[in-house]
Amino acid sequence: MISIIRGTTNDFSLNIENEKGEQYTLQDGEKIIFGVKENAENSDYNIVKMLTSADVVDGICTIKLTPTDTAELSFGRYYFDIGLQTANGDYYMIVPCDEFYICKAVTQKEATQ
């Protein structure tokens, strides 16, 4: 489960391992796809991020959400998953469908002087 405050910056990292438990290195032409949908059955994403081998540092994929990614979304429950698409078109589920919450903030950013 992921919970984030609407309209804030959020980064989370993912370490990918192969079936032997060894760190997997993303190859040219492969991509990590992070998708968020209000309903898992919807065809359109509310948020989608794609990472390539250029986005991976020391085997760690960092998915970065900016304030604009969530600013217009309604508060509540969504669903997400993360997949790996290979250069030849195979698709592997890295993180299966789970809940993604957009929450209200209790505090707020203070004005700078």
**Residue numbers of the domain that contains 65:** 2-103
Q: Is residue 113 part of a domain?
A: no
| pLDDT above 90: percentage of residues in the chain | 74
What pTM does this model have? Answer: 0.89
**For the segment 59-81, what is each residue's pLDDT rounded down to a tens digit?**
799 999 999 999 999 999 999 99
Band (8; pLDDT cuts 50, 70, 90): very high
Q: Is residue 31 part of a domain?
A: yes
| Mean pLDDT over each residue of the chain, to the nearest integer | 92
Which residue's structure tokens are 């993360």? Answer: 82
Q: Is residue 109 part of a domain?
A: no
Q: Is residue 108 part of a domain?
A: no
Cβ-in-10-Å burial (0-12, 13-18, 19+) of 36 comes to: buried
Nearest of 66, 56, 60, 70 to residue 100 by alpha carbon: 70
Residue 58 token pair: 């020391």
Report the pLDDT value the prediction gives residue 108, as an integer from 0 to 100.
Answer: 76
Q: Is residue 66 part of a domain?
A: yes
Q: Is residue 19 part of a domain?
A: yes
Report the pLDDT value the prediction gives residue 22, as an integer from 0 to 100.
Answer: 87
Long-range contacts, stretch 34-37, CB < 8 angstroms, 24+ apart: 34/63, 34/80, 34/81, 34/82, 35/80, 35/81, 35/82, 35/83, 36/78, 36/79, 36/80, 36/100, 37/78, 37/79, 37/80
Across the range 26-37, mean pLDDT stands at 95
**For the segment 88-113, what is each residue's pLDDT rounded down to a tens digit?**
999 999 999 999 999 998 887 777 77
The CATH number of whichever domain residue 58 belongs to comes to 2.60.40.1930
Q: Is the pLDDT of residue 25 over 90?
A: no
Total domains present in the chain: 1
Q: Is residue 59 part of a domain?
A: yes
Report the pLDDT value the prediction gives residue 57, as an integer from 0 to 100.
Answer: 85
Report the pLDDT value the prediction gives residue 9, as an integer from 0 to 100.
Answer: 95
Q: Is residue 34 part of a domain?
A: yes
